Amino acid sequence: MTRNEVGAVAVILVLFTATVAFFEAGMADKSDVANLQSQVSSLESSAPQTSSSQSTTTTHSSSVPKVAPTTRHITLIAKPATITLATNVTYDAWTFNGTVPGPAIFVNQGDTIIAKFVNNFTTMAHSIDFHAGQVNWAEDYQPVAPGQSITFNFTVEYPGVFMYHCGTSPAIEHIANGMYGAMIVNPSTPLPPAPGGQYVLVQSEFFLNSKPGADGNYAGNYTKMLAGTPTYVVFNASYDGFVTHPLPVQPNELVRLYILDAGPSEWSAFHIIGALMNTTYIDGDPSNVEYGLQTLNIPPSGGAMVDMYFQDPGGKNPFVTHQFEFVPRGDEGMFAVATAATTSTTTTSASPLAQVHVAIPQGAEANTAGPGYSPAKITVVIGVNNTVEWTNDDIAPHTVTSSSVPAGASKFDSGYMNIEGSGTFTYTFTVPGTYTYGCSYHPWMQGTVTVLAGK
């Protein structure tokens, strides 16, 4: 046995002894927990390093200042919407806020959530169930009648990648028709930033009738749901969407993935071809850490956060479920590694542009680290180039919705912009000042227009 192996065994034995002693103590107080965590941290830091790959793992440092908790208001609206699952395949979905998955919600550990749920269906009751919440189910998670709403609050005590969904019976039908989303609770002690890319990936199943309805859209088949025979198993409700539109990442820069398996029934055996998951936080909690995973097993309603690196500039790395029967049904995607590390793929214009066009780039609906608009900041001059056109090049619908405008100016809203370049919005600015806007579906998408007076 080598010296490194002896050292590693010693660390394991000490950790095991400390853990046994801790649990034998019975009703341990918080100081016991802190002492044990301190011992574990000390042992980990002194443990022999057996490979260079360990230097690429993420550390959750206690020296980083904690984020102060705050109060956050969240509104989710149950509403029917037509989504595009695959080429020439549209689906009558049941949604939160008009999209599948519902909007990704980012909060911090310790935040107080004031949640408002509105049911805009006309004939069907729905509900909301936040897995991150600890509430009175009989009061807060019960069905809400059509046209009605409910408001309640809870504190998010644990960090993680949590599912939210409609829990109205039969829950499998409501989830399979699209009523689910991810709530990411960041730890109170922040993790390091991920400049290489940051994405939310949600696996789910769809069970289609054999033929479309009179409106040309498919609907869900309840018999297939109960039998567990999905037509599609996909990421972010798009058949091969991230194959035709790969997610861009930077080489040798930290990439962070928030992964949720919304089910309703199948596990995800998440695997990235040609790469290893350097640091994986089971359920998205930094306390539950594993290193160097080849395949990540996530149960229905389970989540994970993955920190990793892509080492080959210009390469491509597919991601799939290793439950291969579902790959032909759409459960795959691609990471496109840039040829060289760059600070940002989104440009900023500080001077007037000759032709003003803003794109919503591919991957914007999953890339929570990007502004979602390219260029994110533009400057225009009245009478010269004050008409701006936005084009949606992503695989998901988006909006261009003003959040603040100068005094005397009108607010603007594109409404639902269709997918893959077929959705455009044009607006002419007539009042000088600074305008901020974003996407109603994806709150991390933000842009700014500075309007200058013409000469």
Considering only CA atoms, which of 375, 379, 389 is closest in space to residue 453?
Answer: 379
Q: Indicate whether 9 pLDDT > 50.
A: no
- Nearest CA to 264 out of 318, 206, 331 is that of 206
Both 360 and 413 in one domain: the answer is yes
When pLDDT is cut at 50, 70 and 90, the band that residue 355 belongs to is low
pLDDT for 350 equals 40
C-alpha span between 100 and 396 (Å, rounded) = 9
**Domain limits at 14?**
3-50
pTM of the complete model: 0.74
Q: How many domains does the chain have?
A: 4
What integer best gives the mean pLDDT of the chain?
A: 85
Q: What does the pLDDT look like over 305-342, one tens digit per residue?
A: 999 999 999 999 999 999 999 999 999 999 999 997 55
Residue 309, pLDDT score:
97
Q: Could you report the per-residue pLDDT of 248-269, keeping only the tens digit for each?
A: 899 999 999 999 999 999 999 9
3-state helix vs strand vs coil in the chain, percent to 5 = 15, 40, 45
Which of 288, 312, 337 delimits the end of a domain? 337
Nearest CA to 113 among 129, 96, 133, 127?
133
Residue scoring higher pLDDT (371 or 182): 182
pLDDT of residue 41: 43
Instruction: For CA atoms 397, 130, 297, 52, give the dihedral sign.
Output: positive
Could you give phi then psi for residue 34, rounded to 5 degrees?
-60, -40
- pLDDT (0 to 100) of residue 422: 59
Closest residue by Cα to residue 305 from 288, 322, 282, 321: 282
Structure-token pair, residue 16: 């095991």
Q: Does the residue 64 lie in any domain? A: no
Residue 120 lies in a domain: yes
| Backbone torsions φ then ψ of 371, nearest 5 degrees | -70, -20
Strands (E) located in 87-179: 89-96, 105-108, 112-119, 129-130, 149-155, 160-165
Q: Which residues contact 158 (CB under 8 A, 6 or more apart)?
A: 109, 132, 185, 285
Q: Which residues contact 395 (CB under 8 A, 6 or more apart)?
A: 236, 238, 241, 242, 244, 245, 362, 365, 419, 420
Give the phi and the psi of residue 369 in degrees, each rounded to 5.
Answer: -90, -15
| pLDDT of 34 above 60 | no
Pairwise pLDDT comparison (63 vs 428), residue with the higher score: 428
Tell me, what's the pLDDT at 454? 75
Residues 311, 396, single domain; the answer is: no
Q: How far is CA 57 from the centre of its chain?
A: 21
Residues 280 and 258 sit within 8 Å (Cβ to Cβ): no
Overall average pLDDT of the 5-24 stretch: 40
Report yes or no on 90 lying in a domain.
yes
443 and 413 in a single domain? The answer is yes
Q: Tens digit of pLDDT for each residue in 153-206?
A: 999 999 999 999 999 999 999 999 999 999 999 999 999 989 898 999 999 999
In a domain, 63, yes or no: no
Last residue of a domain, one of 281, 309, 337: 337
